[in-house]
Amino acid sequence: MLKKMNRLKKSDIDSIFKSGKFRKFGAISMHFKKNNLGYPRFGFALSKKNFKKATERNLVKRRAREIIRMHAAGSASGHDVLLVFGSEIKNLTFSALKEQLIDALKSARIL
């Protein structure tokens, strides 16, 4: 689980949609904006349309949180990041998801 300081709140998510940037990397859509906190904060979104069962949504979120915890939570870049996952993600293994997510964060200059 991510530390509380590395999690986004609802009001932060709304501000990312209003004034943040957007990038799409395969099945991962990323909304992000700079924050002045000096540490990154992350949020995850998966639709019920693409992931019918709660177990599928929870599996993807657990995997993504672990990848973020291991690689990005300690980063010094101050960004608020909302990751939106497409339906193709549920077919990926942990290592494939890790590779795709880290590449997406690096290309957006968050890592």
Torsion on CA atoms 87, 111, 75, 15, rounded to nearest 10? -60
pLDDT over 90 at 46, yes or no: yes
Residue 37 to residue 35: CA distance in whole angstroms = 6
pLDDT of residue 51 exceeding 90: yes
Position 13 scores a pLDDT of 93
The alpha carbon torsion through 53, 22, 30, 27 (nearest 10 deg) reads: 60
Domains and CATH numbers, the chain: 4-107 (3.30.230.10)
> Model confidence at 108, in pLDDT bands (50, 70, 90)?
confident
Rounded to whole angstroms, how far apart are CA atoms 94 and 49?
22
Nearest 10 degrees: Cα torsion 79, 44, 85, 25: 10
Give the mean pLDDT of 64-77: 84
Indicate whether 25 pLDDT > 70: yes
- pTM for this structure? 0.90
pLDDT interval class at 43 (50, 70, 90): very high
Pairing of strands 41-46, 21-25: unpaired
